[in-house]
C-alpha cells in the first residue's frame, strides 16, 4: 500500500492479517478473535447493526471525493480496498477466469446504521 498509495499513509500497524473466513466474522461486526462457530448461529436475535455494501473496481478519480464525503458522514461508512494485480496478471484467463484481472483494486464500501424502520429505508434508498 505504501508503494501504490503513499498518500494514504498506511502502515503495517493499520492492517490486520487473517484468513478469509475470519474476515467474514470481522465484517459482520464481531471483531477479531471470535470462534468461527459463531457463523453457524442462526438464532432469532435481531442484529445490532444493519448494513448495505457495494463494490466496484477502479473507480474514476473524480468520484473519490463524493465517495469519501458519503462514507465520512455521521461516521457511518467503511471503505475497503482489496489490492489486485500481482501474480494474478500472469495466470492465463483460460486457466483461471477472473473478470477483474487488469484492475488495480476492488473497492468495497459499506453504509451502516443501528436502527431499523425509517433509518433502513433511508440508507437502503
- Set of cell numbers at residue 27: 465484517
Question: What is the helix, strand, coil percentage profile of the chain, to 5?
Answer: 40, 20, 40
How many Å apart are CA 56 and CA 44, to the nearest integer?
32
All structural domains of the chain? 1-45 (no CATH), 46-125 (3.40.462.20)
Beta-bridge mates of residue 77: 111
The reply to whether the predicted model has a pTM over 0.95 is no
**pLDDT surpassing 60 at residue 44:** no
Predicted pLDDT of residue 102: 75
Ranked by mean pLDDT, which of 9-18, 20-29, 37-46, 79-88 comes out on top?
9-18
User: Position of cell 493499520?
Assistant: 14
**pLDDT surpassing 70 at residue 97:** yes
Beta-bridge mates of residue 81: 107
Check: CB of residue 51 under 8 Å from CB of residue 77. Answer: no
Give the pLDDT band (50/70/90) at residue 75: low
Amino acid at each position: 500500500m505504501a508503494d501504490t498509495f503513499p498518500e494514504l499513509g498506511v502502515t503495517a500497524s493499520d492492517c490486520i492479517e487473517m484468513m478469509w473466513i475470519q474476515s467474514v466474522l470481522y465484517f459482520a461486526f464481531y471483531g477479531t478473535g471470535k470462534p468461527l462457530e459463531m457463523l453457524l448461529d442462526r438464532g432469532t436475535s435481531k442484529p445490532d447493526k444493519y448494513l448495505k455494501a457495494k463494490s466496484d473496481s477502479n473507480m474514476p478519480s473524480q468520484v473519490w471525493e463524493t465517495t469519501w464525503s458519503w462514507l465520512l458522514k455521521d461516521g457511518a461508512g467503511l471503505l475497503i480496498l482489496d489490492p489486485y494485480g500481482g501474480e494474478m496478471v500472469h495466470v492465463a484467463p483460460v486457466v483461471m477466469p477472473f473478470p477483474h484481472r487488469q484492475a488495480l483494486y476492488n473497492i468495497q464500501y459499506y453504509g451502516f446504521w443501528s436502527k431499523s424502520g425509517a433509518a433502513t429505508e433511508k440508507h437502503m434508498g
